[in-house]
Amino acid sequence: MSSPLDRHQTEIQGNLSPWQNKPLLRQIYGGFYDRIITLLDRKLPGRIVEIGSGVGNLKSPLPEAIGTDLFPNPWLDLVCDGYELPFRAGSLSHLILFDVFHHLRAPNAFLREARRVLAEGGRLILFEPYISWFSWPVYGLLHHEPVAWRAPINFTETLPRPRDYYAAQGNATRLFFLTQNRGWPAGWTVFHAEAFASFSYLFSGGFSKPAWYPAGCLNRMQSCDQKLSRWPRLFGARCQIGLSPLDDSRDR
């Protein structure tokens, strides 16, 4: 059964307290943000915009980013929808989506809009769940969002209405890491696609469950993650993708 779009706002409100009271989570996210920052090209002209900022965490390591989301919250700079961005064509250097891509029912409709607002050489950075043999049961059984591994993906460039809440945690893995989707997305270069182990994250319980290990063990967990990242299909849990629009595909 479909849920209304404002379920996102309920979830954001629910995430505030764990974010403020769970230092382990903040430390883990700090590492994720470091990874995102390595994909920025600081020489590019234009502003950095985060779509779907949620509780607004990326602002701490990246205060210059414009924080946006679908619903108003005091820590945001702007309320906006990723499908209809209120920015001039070619005016942004980067778009960052952290755990947002798998909420986009029509990824191509978003990519079309992203291509419009990005400057030449601009970058779209996605950070997402990665579905491997080990992470699948955790995401599938312990997280409320569906993995939706076999569900059809809507490839139209027009957004279906009325809008509702959508989640498919497996979409980034399916679209960017499975060979059957080579060539997608048309009009973009994928300059980075990396999946890595993150048991430190999975066993932290995230925003909704208690941690399965004490914060003092984080370093040891992370060094295990580093070793296991050599086999992403088996142990991967997170992925990061960097895309850039091809010049001849601009839609202005």
Residue whose CB is less far from ligand SAM, 72 or 214: 72
The least distance separating ligand SAM from the CB of residue 248, rounded to whole angstroms, comes to: 27
Nearer to ligand SAM, 38 or 208 (CB): 208
Closest CA to 127 of 23, 216, 48, 53: 53
Please, what is the minimum distance in Å from the beta carbon of residue 202 to ligand SAM?
16
Nearest to ligand SAM of 113, 225 (CB atom):
113
Nearer of residues 121 and 146 to ligand SAM, judged by Cβ: 146
Three-state secondary structure along 124-138? EEEEEECCCCCHHHH
Which lies closer to ligand SAM via its Cβ, residue 114 or residue 221? 114
Query: Whole-angstrom distance between the N-terminal and C-terminal Cα of the chain?
Result: 37
Smallest separation (angstroms) from ligand SAM to the CB of 200: 16
Which element (helix H / strand E) includes 18? Answer: helix 7-21
Q: List the one residue out of 96, 94, 100 whose CA is nearest residue 123.
A: 94
Structure tokens at 28: 């883990």
Which residue's beta carbon is nearest to the bound ligand SAM?
A: 54
Beta carbon nearer to ligand SAM, 26 or 224: 26
Shortest reach from residue 208's CB to ligand SAM, in Å? 11
Positive or negative, the CA dihedral 183, 188, 193, 198 is negative
Q: Report the alpha-carbon distance of residue 6 to residue 21 in Å, rounded.
A: 24
List residues near ligand SAM by CB under 6 A. 8, 12, 51-55, 57, 69-70, 81-83, 98-100, 103
Shortest reach from residue 138's CB to ligand SAM, in Å = 16
Q: How many residues does the chain have?
A: 252
Residue 221, both tokens: 């967990």
Tokens of 173: 């893995």
Cβ 99 to ligand SAM shortest distance, Å = 4
Q: What is the dihedral of CA 17, 72, 76, 13, to 10 degrees?
A: 10
